[in-house]
Amino acid sequence: MTFRLSSDAMRLAIPALSLTLLLAAVFWLQPRAMSYVGLNLLFNLAVPIALATIAQMLVMAVNDLDLSMGTFVSFIACVTATFLRDAPVTGVLILAGAIVTYAALGIVIHLRNLPSIVVTLGMSFVWGGLAVLLLPSPGGQAPDWVRWLMTVRPPLAPMAIVASIVIAAVAHLVIMRSSLGVLIRGIGGNQRSVERAGWSIVRARATAYGLAGFFAVLAGIALVGLTTAADANIALRYTLLSIAGVILGGGEFIGGRVSPIGAVIGALTLTLAGSFLSFLRISPDWQIGAQGAILIIVLALRLMLNRLEKREKRR
């Protein structure tokens, strides 16, 4: 073979294949899913997860980890369902403030050389507290334009698919193709040499965090658009889901090795895995355990494909 897969392409091929296999299994179990409406139902809740995964990926690209993703998205959801609807100007200001706070976190973490895990763990309490203050009991309502955006029915493909493609494309352009993306990933790969080339690491890290904040804000808004209302605990699981999504998509914890398209695929895979389970009709006792099993199976699949790929490469 003269054609050589770049390591980026490899990083992508595996998650894409596992998603395809899983999708085939779901269609086999539930042929009804193979329709415009069916695909939308399968995937629309993956849209906010995909956005949160991209956000997490940006933080992971600079060798950090964000443990506050879930509470942050919950907080944004609360803001969206209250201020953004009732007082759009204030709402937008709060969202902008949240993004600035994220960027500031990046700065503090860099300047004081703090472990991002601890800082974001602390922030997860702060965002959670703010969300509880904002919505002590669930409620609020999605702004109409958000609701419209998330329920619009484009021709050809359902909203969920279109949105996923758009998110993947935009994130790919920003992170993989632009100079800014190269800089951010460069910090993950070898911060020292980026610094020696004369770049300001603080500024770059702040930008990475700010961008992550931006994508997380979009995740919160999209989530409210789907659920129509918010509560303070609405997205707590996004922390783990987003990390799992990045990993499933071929990203790594350190070294700036990430793949935005993979991350979106990872988020879709995770969502689909849940549906696959409910189509299997397992006894309630073991339904939770089956979630673990399916994760394991998907990852085993990844490993198998990885091996195949390696063998291919060696030839």
Partner 1 sequence: ETSAKKIALSNNYAGNSWRQAMLTSWGKVTGEAVKTGVVAAADAFTTAENQATEQAAQIQNMILQGYDAIVLNAASPTALNGAVKEACDAGITVVSFDGIVTEPCAWRIAVDFKEMGRSQVEYLSKKLPDGGNLLEIRGLAGVFVDDEISAGIHEGVKQFPQFKIVGSVHGDWAQDVAQKAVAGILPSLPDIVGVVTQGGDGYGAAQAIAATDRKMPIIVMGNREDELKWWKQQKDAKGYETMSVSIAPGVSTLAFWVAQQILDGKEVKKDLVVPFLRIDQDNLETNLANTQAGGVANVEYTQEDAVKVIESAK
Partner 2 sequence: MNDVLKAVIAVDGAKISFGAVRALDGVTLHVMPGECVGLVGHNGAGKSTIVSVINGGLTPHEGSVASDGERLERYGINVARARGVRCVFQELSLCPNLSIVENARIMHRDLGGFGWRKRAAQIIGKSLDTVFPGHGIDSTRTVGDLSIAERQMVEIAMAFSDAGVPPRLVILDEPTSSLDASLARQMLDHVRRFVGAGGSVIFISHILHEILETSDRIVVMKDGRVVAERPAHDFDHHGVVEAMGTVAKDETGQRSAREQSTAPLVLSHQAAGLSFMARKGEIIGLAGLAGHGQTELLLALHASQAGNWLPERDPLVTFVAGDRRLNGVFELWSILRNFSIASLGDLSRRGLILPGKEATKGADWKRRIEIRTPDMDNRILSLSGGNQQKVLFARALATRAPIVLMDDPMRGVDIGTKQEVYAIIREEAAHGRTFIWYSTEMDEVSLCDRVYVFREGRIAAELAGDAVNETNIIAASFEGVAA
Partner 3 sequence: MILLLRPFSKPWIWSWLAAFIVWFLTIMVTLGASTLGLSQAALTFAAFSVIVGIGQMFVITLGPGNIDLSVPATMTLAGTVALKLMNVENGMILPGFLVVILIGLVVGLCNYALIKALRIPPIIATLSISFIVQSAAIWTNRGLRIKPPSMLAEFTTSNTLGAPNVAIVAFLISILAWFLLEKTIYGRWISAIGQSMPAARMAGIPVDGTRFVTYLFCAVLASVAGFLLACFSGGAALNMGSEYLLMSIAVVVIGGTAVAGGDSNVPGIWGASLFMFLVVSMLNTYGLGAGIRLIMTGLIIISVIMLAGGRRPGMR
What residues make contact with partner 2 under the rule CB under 8 A? 6-8, 177, 179, 182-183, 185-186, 188-190, 192-199, 255-257
Q: Structure tokens of 148?
A: 């419209």
Q: Which is nearer to partner 1, 48 or 262 (CB)?
A: 48
> Given the rule CB under 8 A, which of 84-92, 117-125, 170-178, 219-227 is the region that contacts partner 1?
219-227
Count helices and strands in the chain by DSSP H and E runs = 14, 0
237 binds partner 1 per the rule CB under 8 A: yes
Instruction: Please give the residue ranges that form the binding site for partner 3 (CB under 8 A).
Output: 63-64, 108-109, 112-119, 121-133, 136, 240, 243-244, 247, 253-254, 285-293, 295-296, 299-300, 302-303
Partners of 230 in beta bridges: 139
Instruction: Give the up-direction half-sphere exposure of residue 151: CA atoms within 13 A in the CB hemisphere.
Output: 12
Closest CA to 247 of 170, 303, 304, 307: 303
Q: Which is nearer to partner 2, 63 or 228 (CB)?
A: 63
Vertex 84, ends 80 and 86: CA angle to 5°? 120
Determine contact, residues 138/231, Cβ cutoff 8 Å.
yes
Binding partner of 6, given partner 2, partner 3, partner 1, none, CB within 5-8 angstroms per partner class? partner 2
Cα 277–chain centre separation: 21
Binding partner of 179, given partner 3, partner 2, partner 1, none, CB within 5-8 angstroms per partner class? partner 2
Binding partner of 116, given partner 3, partner 2, partner 1, none, CB within 5-8 angstroms per partner class? partner 3
Q: Which is nearer to partner 1, 209 or 238 (CB)?
A: 238
Q: Which is nearer to partner 1, 61 or 79 (CB)?
A: 79
Q: Which is nearer to partner 1, 198 or 284 (CB)?
A: 284
Q: Largest Cα–Cα distance in the chain?
A: 62
Round the CA-based radius of gyration of the chain to a whole number and report it.
Answer: 20
In sequence order, what are the residues at sequence separation of 6 or more whose Cβ sits closer than 8 angstroms to the Cβ of residue 205? Answer: 62, 106, 107, 109, 110, 187
Q: Determine which helix (DSSP H) or strand (DSSP E) holds 22, and give its type and residue range.
A: helix 7-29
d(CA 224, CA 231): 10
Least CB distance from residue 44 to partner 3, whole Å? 24
Footprint of partner 1 on this chain (CB under 8 A)? 30, 32-33, 38, 41-42, 44-45, 48-49, 128, 131-132, 135-140, 223, 226-238, 271, 274-275, 278-279, 281, 284, 287-288, 291
